[in-house]
Amino acid sequence: MSQRPHTMHKGDEEEEAAPLLISPESPSTSAPRPTASRSYTQRSSYYNTFNNDKSGRVTKPKQPMRTTKISQKLKLFPEDEALLPEEGEEDADVYTQLAKIPHGMERQEAEMLNKMDRSELSRMTAYCTASAYRMDGLFKFLQSKRKTNGTAPQRFDECLYTPYAFTYPAAPPNNITSKAQKLPEMFLFDYGVVVFWGMTLKEEQRILKFLVSFEEEKLDVDDVETEEFHYYYNETYQPRIYNDIITLRHPSNYLIKLTISHAIAQSVKMTLFERLIDDTINETKYIPQVMAESGNIHMSRTAITKKIGELFIMRINVNLVSNILDTPEIFWSEPTLEPLYSAIRGYLEIEQRVQLLNQRVEVISDLLEMLKDHLNSSHGEALEWIVIWLIGLEILVAVITTSLDAFSLYNGKE
């Protein structure tokens, strides 16, 4: 049987007996899998399970941004070059990859985990809460928590790693490996994403509260995005991710968790931009129909120009600023980890989502450019009519002036 060493913390028993919320992800219900991202309002005391409008009605949940959130897809983690998928293999029959697991205990394990209550497994959750974190301040803060929370912060370029426990023993073990197995961990990324491993929901919420003072351009409550996975350890099976359940071999290898966290952090950051694009589409999809029916538009030139600016800022962030398209620099110094990073990135469909996102931005940009051209044309037409009226007025004034002069000349002769 597999090993599922879920680190127990003080208060875990109470939480299992009386859960904080009714999770829409629980397989004990017949509800569909939740969206790839959820806002703060869906968690804890001020994170409700569902979003309610002012009338008290439950709003319809958003659709997930990646197909693996609602499909049973398997991705085996490569352990060496011989296990890497051949070119084109990843796109072939990706949704029936369970057949790649050999028959026997390993396959039964994968099928069983898909049906069991996920609350029995350890949590791995990612939150996108801001545009950026002040990493220097965070590093100093975490260093000050060594004795009280067992922290040991380390910088990896854009990432800050540390174990973090709320119930830390007064005399920590001398064995670093034993310590790493017992303490929950978190990875903070400079583009405003934090990934928790092995923490309870209450513990995650407490950390999110103290992170507020280190956030730059904090996101609104409704804009905060999350990704939730579960994981366990088994030393005999090949590491993999199946239906958002991760199988690992060694709890002490934080570099493996760092690699996985990089890809998941990029995914949750990407979800933020996908939501922004969706909002923009919903705000502009009526425009072509209105133009087709009436031949007029109901947006000012200033409003359209602002929309174009917002879209291009968003596109610059996706491609240049947010590191979503970049391979993390740590894989230059640790090239053996890059195949695992690529496997997780493929499972999360990041490349396809980036391409789709850019295409949608281009379509909306074309629409708004067309509207801007239409407004410029209308503005030019209005100027032409002004010029025509001025010329007509000038002619009228000239005629009146000439008539008065002629009338005065005629009266003078008499």
- The tens digit of pLDDT for each residue in 254-298 reads 899 999 999 999 999 989 988 888 888 888 888 888 888 887 777
Task: Give, rounded to a whole angstrom, the gap between the first and last alpha carbons of the chain.
Answer: 126
pLDDT value at 238 more than 70: yes
Among the listed residues 341, 180, 198, the one whose alpha carbon sits nearest the alpha carbon of residue 267: 341
pLDDT value at 36 more than 90: no
pLDDT value at 97 more than 60: no
Rounded Cα–Cα distance for residues 228 and 111 (Å) = 19
Rounded Cα–Cα distance for residues 78 and 82 (Å) = 8
Average pLDDT for 192-205: 94
Between 55 and 338, the more confident residue is 338
Between 224 and 1, the more confident residue is 224
Burial (CB count within 10 angstroms: exposed 0-12, middle 13-18, buried 19+), residue 53: exposed
Rounded Cα–Cα distance for residues 42 and 280 (Å) = 23
Cα dihedral sign, 387-393-397-399: positive
Rounded Cα–Cα distance for residues 152 and 134 (Å) = 18
Q: Name the band, by pLDDT with cuts 50, 70 and 90, for residue 144.
A: very high
Ramachandran region, residue 157 (left: φ > 0; alpha: ψ -120 to 50; beta: rest): left
On average, the pLDDT of the chain sits at: 73
Give 10's Cβ-side CA count (13 Å radius).
5
- Among 37-46, 293-302, 353-362, top mean pLDDT goes to 353-362
- Among 17-21, 169-173, 318-322, 379-383, top mean pLDDT goes to 379-383
Which amino acid is located at 154 in the chain? Q
Provide Rg for the chain, Cα atoms.
Answer: 30
The mean-pLDDT minimum among 154-158, 193-197, 299-303 falls in: 299-303
pLDDT of residue 182: 64
Cα dihedral sign, 205-208-213-216: negative
Q: What is this structure's pTM? A: 0.68
pLDDT value at 384 more than 80: yes
pLDDT value at 198 more than 60: yes
Average pLDDT for 314-329: 74
Indicate the SS3 state at residue 233. Answer: strand
Helices (H), 6-80: 12-17
pLDDT value at 366 more than 80: yes
Among the listed residues 261, 271, 244, the one whose alpha carbon sits nearest the alpha carbon of residue 128: 271
